[in-house]
């Protein structure tokens, strides 16, 4: 195979690789999955038996319960007194002895759950806080042409935005989320890279033929 053809193919491979790398970085969603153990007879670990296993996450995150014991258990949403389980429309894994059960929480609030077999030993609580908004810089007041008032020390500083308040009552049941949606292949960049490679390859081939 002529050397010019090999160079052309290698250039195309590098161009496609750069496009794929750039595209994969754009698809990062920043959402996380937190794993909670389901054991005999506890959530989180054995120290929470007859207690409440607390899990703190951000809205949009997913909790995955993983069965680590050998007995049968459930992950069933409750009211805040752990007596009505499941709640109307609440999540419920059903009785399982192994595997995992996942739930995505898109709404800030507090969500309670228990095992519907070990109703007094296995209690849990999911505390979901709102995502923090990225602060944007704002221009300060202009002082041009303003005569300062005696005793005035300057413009007051900005105050920090208040932190989100956690709800003490169970929030509406969120929908279980799936994988982040694909934003599509950047076809414009792909076509540009392929076109550039074709032009370079054609020019090099023409120079090679002209020298013969």
**SS3 state at 60:** coil
The per-residue pLDDT for 71 is 96
Q: What is the pTM of this model?
A: 0.53
The two three-digit tokens of residue 96, written as one number: 């399982």
What are the structure tokens assigned to 144, written together? 């041009």
Higher-confidence residue of 2 and 166: namely: 2
By three-state DSSP, how is residue 189 classified? helix
Q: Let me know if residue 190 belongs to a domain.
A: yes
| Contact call for residues 42 and 12 (beta carbons, < 8 A) | no
Contact (Cβ atoms closer than 8 angstroms) between residue 96 and residue 76: no
Q: Span 27-51, mean pLDDT? A: 89
- Look at the chain and report how many structural domains it folds into: 2
Q: Is residue 123 part of a domain?
A: yes
125 belongs to a structural domain = yes
Task: Over range 147-151, report the average pLDDT.
Answer: 47
Q: Provide the domain limits for residue 194.
A: 1-28+185-212
15 within some domain: yes
């Amino acid at each position: 195979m002529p050397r010019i053809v090999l160079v052309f193919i290698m250039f195309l491979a590098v161009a496609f690789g750069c496009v794929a790398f750039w595209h994969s970085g754009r698809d990062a969603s920043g959402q996380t999955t937190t794993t909670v153990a389901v054991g005999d007879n506890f959530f989180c670990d054995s120290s929470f038996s007859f207690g409440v296993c607390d899990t703190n996450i951000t809205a949009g995150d997913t909790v995955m319960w993983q069965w680590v014991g050998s007995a049968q258990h459930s992950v069933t949403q409750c009211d805040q007194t752990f007596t009505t389980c499941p709640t109307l429309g609440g999540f419920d894994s059903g009785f399982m002895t192994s595997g995992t059960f996942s739930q995505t929480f898109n709404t800030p609030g507090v969500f309670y759950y228990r095992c519907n077999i070990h109703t007094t030993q296995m209690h849990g609580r999911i505390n979901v806080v709102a995502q923090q908004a990225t602060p944007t810089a704002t221009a300060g007041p202009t002082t041009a042409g303003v005569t300062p008032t005696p005793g005035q020390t300057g413009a007051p500083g900005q105050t920090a935005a208040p932190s989100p308040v956690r709800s003490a009552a169970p929030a509406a049941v969120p929908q279980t989320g799936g994988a982040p949606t694909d934003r599509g292949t950047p076809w414009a960049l792909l076509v540009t890279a392929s076109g550039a490679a074709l032009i370079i390859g054609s020019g090099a081939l023409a120079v090679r033929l002209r020298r013969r």
